[in-house]
Amino acid sequence: MARSRKHAPLSQEAVDLVADRFRVLGEPIRIRILQELQSGDKNVTQLVEAIGSTQPNISKHIRILQEAGLIARRQAGTAVYCHIADPSVFDLCDAVCASIQTRLSNSARLAAELDRGLSRK
């Protein structure tokens, strides 16, 4: 049974901020960057190697994540290290993953039920 939450309506400005956050998280490479940083600070070179993209592309997505306040950067000599600035992003990811898992589990259960029904014929 789905739980229902009642929230006061958001202002248009607040809705726009929420939509912006979801847009930032709407790029798979940004999710991968966040996953890589979950285990600790990494420099751009390490992220390029782990994700398998180009340095300019990774840098562009880091900038977007930084502007959104999700990650922060620090300079160490010539290297720039990134780290998670807002760990609550993982709560959101966990909620989305749990929802997807539930949906897929329900679909798998229904598929198995249908398969059993077809097997009886």
| Residue-averaged pLDDT of the chain | 90
* Tally of residues, the chain: 121
CA 62 to chain centre: 13
- Residue 37 has a pLDDT of 98
Q: How confident is the model at residue 33 (pLDDT cuts 50, 70, 90)?
A: very high
28-32, 57-61, 70-74, 108-112: range with lowest mean pLDDT: 108-112
What is the dotted CATH code of the domain comprising 12-86? 1.10.10.10
Kindly give, in sequence order, each residue whose CB lies less than 8 Å from that of residue 53, ignoring residues fewer than 6 positions away: 29
29: nearest Cα among 74, 60, 69, 6: 60
Q: How confident is the model at residue 35 (pLDDT cuts 50, 70, 90)?
A: very high
Domain ranges of the chain: 12-86, 87-121
Whole-angstrom distance, CA of residue 74 vs CA of residue 8: 38
